[in-house]
């Protein structure tokens, strides 16, 4: 099955350093509509998120799960699964993006066709993860995306998640082209 791996902070919800409380969750404008459109196109939707605040002792896994519950409510249950890596960057854990651990876990749980799948996020680590697993990488310009636009080479640069969803809708019966930017 085709899958879209979505970064959490800065991609589907507004970036907040070490989000702790459900009331802090605010979707990126257009993200709920984007997720609905991707779901209608038949994609499995999986959030993969580095949550180093857990490893640093700033937030707890319970905080992360409470925030997840609020995200599930906002997105009306359209997101199929969430995976997290609680490790600090200096640990270089297998689960921490751009390492493939979270994607590999998802591939064990679901019958994912990685060549027909995407990794979408606002950092080069998301794009690099896509390259490592054989998916296509999308850099969105929300969150930290503007900072990374000249630092990595994604398959596609999209102004936001909704622009990417529209790209997918237009591409249903067309061959995909890399190296383009969509609004």
In total, how many domains does the chain have?
A: 1
Instruction: Catalytic residue, from 9, 122, 126, 160: name it.
Output: 9
Residue 63 annotated among the catalytic residues of the structure: no
Q: Which residues 6+ apart lie within 8 Å of 34 measured at CB? A: 160, 161, 162, 164, 165
| Residue 9 annotated among the catalytic residues of the structure | yes
In angstroms, rounded to a whole number, what is the distance separating the alpha carbons of residues 93 and 71?
25
Q: How far apart (Å, rounded) are the C-alpha atoms in residues 22 and 59?
A: 13
Prediction pTM value: 0.93
| CATH number of the domain encompassing residue 137 | 3.40.50.1000
Distance separating alpha carbons of residues 169 and 39, to the nearest angstrom: 11
Render pLDDT for 72-83 as a digit per residue (tens, 0 to 9): 999 999 999 999
Residue 33 belongs to domain spanning: 3-182
Backbone angles phi, psi at 45, to 5 degrees: -115, 120
E strands along 14-145, which residues?
A: 44-50, 81-85, 118-121, 136-140
pLDDT in tens, 105-153: 999 999 999 999 999 999 999 999 999 999 999 999 999 998 999 999 9
């Amino acid at each position: 099955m085709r899958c879209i791996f979505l970064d959490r902070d800065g991609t589907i919800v507004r970036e907040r350093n070490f989000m702790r409380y459900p009331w802090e969750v605010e979707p990126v404008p257009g993200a709920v509509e984007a997720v609905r459109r991707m779901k209608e196109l038949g994609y499995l939707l999986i959030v993969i998120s580095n949550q180093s605040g857990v490893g640093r002792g700033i937030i707890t896994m319970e905080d992360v799960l409470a925030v997840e519950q609020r995200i599930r409510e906002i997105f009306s249950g359209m997101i199929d699964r969430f995976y997290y890596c609680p490790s600090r960057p200096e640990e270089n854990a297998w689960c921490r993006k751009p390492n493939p651990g979270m994607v590999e876990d998802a591939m064990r749980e679901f019958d994912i066709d990685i060549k027909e799948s995407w990794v979408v996020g606002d950092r080069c680590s998301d794009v690099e993860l896509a390259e490592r697993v054989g998916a296509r990488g999308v850099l969105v310009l929300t969150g930290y995306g503007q900072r990374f636009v000249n630092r990595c080479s994604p398959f596609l640069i999209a102004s936001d998640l909704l622009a990417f969803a529209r790209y997918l809708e237009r591409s249903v019966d067309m061959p995909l082209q890399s190296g383009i930017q969509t609004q």
